[in-house]
Every structure is written in C-alpha cells, then in structure tokens.
A and B are shown apart, each in its own frame.
Chain A
C-alpha cells in the first residue's frame, strides 16, 4: 500500500498502523485512500470491514483531532452503517499534547487513538466506539446531574459496559430503572398505597399498580414513561441485527435508550422525593 500523498514520517506511521489493524481486524474490504460512501465528506487513510456490521476507519495525521475527523463526525454518526474511527499518529505527538487537551477531544467524540513510536511499535491508546453509539462521559455526567451518588455509580458502570457493548449497557440502565420502580413499589406497599402482591410481583404489575394508585396520580407521567422504557429497552437490547443498516439503527436506538433511561432515573428519583421515600436499589 503506497500512502503516496503522505509525508515520509506519516507514511511510516500509516504502514505500521495498517499492519496492526490487519492483525486486529483482518483485511476484509480493505481500502486505502478511498471514500467509505459519497455521503460521508471524508476519505480515511485506510478502512476495513471486520464484521458484516462494522467498518473500522483510520485517519493518519500529524495533528491531533484533525479537521478531517472533526468535520465528518456528524455524517459518520448518521450514516446507515456503524463506523468506528481511529486516528493514528506518532507517540511523540501524543505525548506532546499538554494536559491531553486534544486527545480528550478525540475521546469525548468517540474516536480511538493508535500511536506509533520511533521504533515502529504500535500501541492502541484507547478504543474507538462506533460513532452512532458513542455517549461521552461529559454527556453522561450532564444527563445524570442531580441524581444521588449511588444511582450515578450504577449509571457509570452501565456506561462502561455500554462503551464495549451498547446492548449490555442499556440493559444495565434498565436494571437501574427496575430497581427504582421496585424501591418505590415496596415503600408504597408498606404505606398501603398499593397491594403487597403487586409490589413483589413482576415489574409490569408493579408499574400498573403504582400507575392506578390515587397516591401516585401526580406522578403518572414518570410511571407511564417507565412502562414504555422497560418495554422498549428489552426489545432493543435483545434483538440481534441482521445487517449493517439494522446494526446502525440498533446503535442509535441503544444510544437514545441509554440517555432516556438516565432521564427517567431522574424522574423516578423525583417520585421518591415527592413521597419522602428512601432510595434503595439492588442491582446485580
């Protein structure tokens, strides 16, 4: 592979990064200096298709978080096929980034980073997440602001799982929601607002019991949203996509579901506060 348009030092980095990516992701549909699609305003240095539902693309550049990536991020996110994007650069450039300001931009927007040292050793510094799936730590923190510590800790764990597997991460958020519903139902049953049987039954019964209880008439919006969320996230997380288009759609749904779940957790916390209930959730 030529990489003829690159400077000699970038050419060296591209060659090493390509060898690393071939070993890591295989050579299926390997393309050098070729567009992924006419709708994506970026031509990666090289790209490959490790699975039938993922494209890995790499941009070799001598400045961190280059314009080529910055400008194409939106179209990559919206594209009908999941694309995980890495930047490859020299280890020196990575180390010269004061306070990791530029490196953190890559991280924040879901790009991965591969470095190559002067001896040609390749190190993946952090992994890329398909951009359609990516939720940055900053986005999570902003969405979870106002929640108490124990819920935030569980959401952080869900976020870590989400970065590796969107479906699993979404399921963990679902467990937080289930935990909050169970917590509300148990304390409502102790107060006699719902029947003990409904509180100890399955989740749908607990939500229905709370929803119909006059004691929760002011919180029906949150409870209705919880019912819709539980139904939706179970479907989204459990359905295996049959092709790249479905995979991209699932990722987008997982992303929306994850953020909806965080939003819903805030609403359920307000329900707890409105009734002076304690927040005790048990998530395995």
Chain B
C-alpha cells in the first residue's frame, strides 16, 4: 500500500478503477487498493470505468479473474469465496456439481491452486480463524502462513491414509505441530514433506510399519520437543539416500550392460576414465 500510495501521490491514478452502478451508488469491481489509497490521500476524485451490472456469478468470476490471477488475493480469501462460486455454478447448471476442471476453467485458477484452496476450506473453523488472525497481523509478525497449513494438512492426510492409528486425534496433532513450529522445534514448513516421507517409507523404502509409527508418534508428542527434521535425518534419510543411489546404480548398470552387449552405445574417452576411477573406488569400498 505504501508504495502504491507514494506512486499515486506523485503521478496520480494512472489506471482507472472499475465500478458498476447499482441504485443510488457505485459498487467497486476492480481497484480496491487504488480506491483506499485515494481515500487516504484525500483525493477529491478518481478516474473510473463504469460497467453494466453483472450477474452474481459473473461478478464473482470477474473478481477471481482480476484478483486471484494477479495474485493479490491470498489463498484463504480465494478458498473462502470458492463455496460461493460452486453454489452459483450449481444454480446456473441445473444442480450439477462443478469438477476441478470446471472450477479451473471458470475461475482461471490452476487445478493445483484449487486443490490448495480445498486444503484450507477443509480446515476446521478454529484453525481457519487462527489463520485469519495471523494473516491480519503485519507481515513481519506473521508466523503461520497459508502454506504452513497447506503443507501440514497434506502431510497429516498422507500419514492418516498410511498409518491411521498414528494420529488418534487429528486436532491434537495439529495443535502439537503448530506449537512445535511456533517454538522452533519444526524449523521449516517444508519439513512437513519429510513427515509424509516417513509415512510413505513403508512402501517406498521398506521401513517396518512399527518403526514409522513410533517415529510419527514421537513427532506428534507435544512433550517430546522433537522436530520432524531430527527424526527424519536420524532414522529415514539414509534409507532414502540408499534408494536414490540404488536407482542411479541401476540406471548406470543398464547403460553399461547395453554397451557391453554391443548395442549402439559408444563409451567415449572421458566417460571411460571416469568409469575406471569409479571401478577402483567401488572395489576399494567393497573390500572394506
């Protein structure tokens, strides 16, 4: 706002706001920040484009296309408006439920954005209120973000589907994760992806279910003071690294095997040197 205000003070409003006429007043469609700056700057008049009155769905979609696509709206604002869009869509389409593709088409949002909004929409009321309160704080004081909740919910969903008994009470788990994040035990919102990896380690890297469950229970224990990163690094990271290197080895093996069988694959001098050096290293390690 400050930057816009400085610009308007210096150059005036260069792009007109958009309004429509409704009875005895005008309703703002586009240019809320410009309007607020103009009011704060005590400007006597602002340039405006006056459009004809849109239908409720048209009005909502117009706002979506103007604001959501310009990323001026945060995900929570979009999420809060989605049920309205869905309701108007049903009304105008004989009760048909919009698919994710329909919503993407009419709102101009990507399907990924719609999925992220749905995570926020499905949050229990008290967490949505918590997020709203947090977002109303000045930026430097905001600790919990929409991304925090989206990442946390994704992880809890993954854990819930793989090891349901690791989360007996979902809200308690949420409270613990929020508290650990605020307290610094969870240092980064991307740590939640590691929580998902712990849950999927049973299928992906052959970790025993009991081990994964124990790890998740420890993370979700408020008293433990342990973060996701510590548990992941200590018990799971090596397994994932091993899997990654195994995949690389398999890929190299396949390539060399094909070359050995005389298929149209040439090994150049540089690669030959590197393979020789790798071969020696492998021998040395295997002898240990």
Residues of A within 8 A of B (CB): 5, 7-10, 33, 35, 38, 40-43, 62-63, 66-68, 71, 90, 92-93, 96
Contacts and interface: CB of A to CB of B under 8 A. Distances in A.
Contact of A71 (B1, B5, B133, B138): B5
B30 interface: no
11 contacts: A8-B132, A8-B133, A62-B137, A63-B138, A67-B2, A71-B5, A90-B138, A90-B141, A92-B137, A93-B140, A96-B141
A67 B141 contact: no
B29 to A, nearest CB: 17
Interface of B: 1-3, 5-6, 9, 36, 39-44, 132-133, 136-138, 140-141
B7 to A, nearest CB: 10
Contact of B9 (A33, A40, A41, A92): A41
A40 B39 CA distance: 12
Contacts of A5: 36, 39
Does more than half of chain B's interface fall in helix, strand or loop, or is it mixed? helix
B39 A43 contact: yes
Contacts, number: 56
Nearest to A71: B9
B81 to A, nearest CB: 18
A41 B5 contact: no
Given A7-B136, A9-B136, A93-B141, A68 B41 contact: yes
Contacts of A33: 39
A71 B6 contact: yes
Given A9-B136, A68-B5, A43 B141 contact: no
Contact of B41 (A63, A71, A90): A71
Nearest to A35: B42
Nearest to B4: A67
Contacts of B133: 8-9
Contacts of B40: 42-43, 68
Contacts of B43: 41
B137 to A, nearest CB: 6
A66 to B, nearest CB: 6
A68 B40 CA distance: 7
B12 to A, nearest CB: 12
Contacts of B138: 62-63, 90, 92-93
Contacts of B137: 9, 62, 90, 92
A103 to B, nearest CB: 14
Contacts of B132: 8
A92 B43 CA distance: 32
Contacts of A40: 42
B136 A8 contact: yes
A57 to B, nearest CB: 12
Complex A-B, nearest 10 residue pairs according to Cβ-Cβ distance, in ascending order: A62-B138, A67-B2, A67-B5, A7-B136, A9-B136, A35-B42, A43-B42, A8-B136, A71-B9, A67-B6
A270 B9 CA distance: 45
Contacts of B39: 5, 33, 43
A32 to B, nearest CB: 12
Contacts of A68: 5, 40-41
A8 B136 CA distance: 6
B209 to A, nearest CB: 44
B138 to A, nearest CB: 4
